[in-house]
Amino acid sequence: MNTLKILKISIIFLIGFLSANIINFYFVYGLENPFLNFSLNTSNNAPSDYVKENQIQVFDDKIVINIKDASIGRYAPTGSMKPVLDENSNGIRIIPQIEEDIHIGDIITFEQEDKLIIHRVIDKGTDEKGVYFITKGDNNQISDGKIRFQDIKYITVGIIW
């Protein structure tokens, strides 16, 4: 009798736990793939080629990279983008003008919950609200969910260690 009661409670708990997580994924990520954020990025998508060879000039005493409206980015020691980025990396970044500027494989800076996050775009799609981007830290196991263009601040176009 006691074993049957424990079994019933365990089944009820399991059903409640799974239901709550599925509902959470539905409201946060939509129905495209509710378990997307548990997937690892197994693709080898490299960032887009923003800096062309003719934009780089090498001199005996310096290197000049001609990128219009570029700025320098610094990174927090979160470890989410290791080994590509870490706190001692220097990023060269630009502000995207249109959604088409951002491609799968690009490293972007976006705002989420009043924090700036730098992660890689692993997917791009559209839903009833328009274009969205799915991002994930290279060293993370879960994605960040849907990111909208208006939340994207920069595209990293170069990294200097």
Question: Same structural domain for residues 137 and 121?
Answer: yes
Q: Where is 133: in which H helix or E strand?
A: strand 130-136
CB 125 within 8 A of CB 32: yes
pTM above 0.85, yes or no: no
Number of structural domains found in the chain: 2
Whose structure tokens read 């990279």? 65
Question: Same structural domain for residues 9 and 52?
Answer: no
Question: Same structural domain for residues 45 and 88?
Answer: yes
Question: Same structural domain for residues 29 and 53?
Answer: no
Q: Kindly report, residue by residue over 35-53, the tens digit of the pLDDT.
A: 444 444 445 688 888 999 9
The parent domain of residue 21 ranges over 1-34
Question: Same structural domain for residues 111 and 95?
Answer: yes
Question: Same structural domain for residues 123 and 57?
Answer: yes
**CA-to-CA distance for 144 and 123, rounded, in angstroms?**
11
Distances, alpha carbon 123 to alpha carbons 136, 140, 143, in Å: 9, 15, 10
Q: Kindly report, residue by residue over 77-131, the tens digit of the pLDDT.
A: 899 999 898 888 899 999 999 999 999 999 999 999 999 999 999 999 999 999 9
Question: Same structural domain for residues 62 and 30?
Answer: no
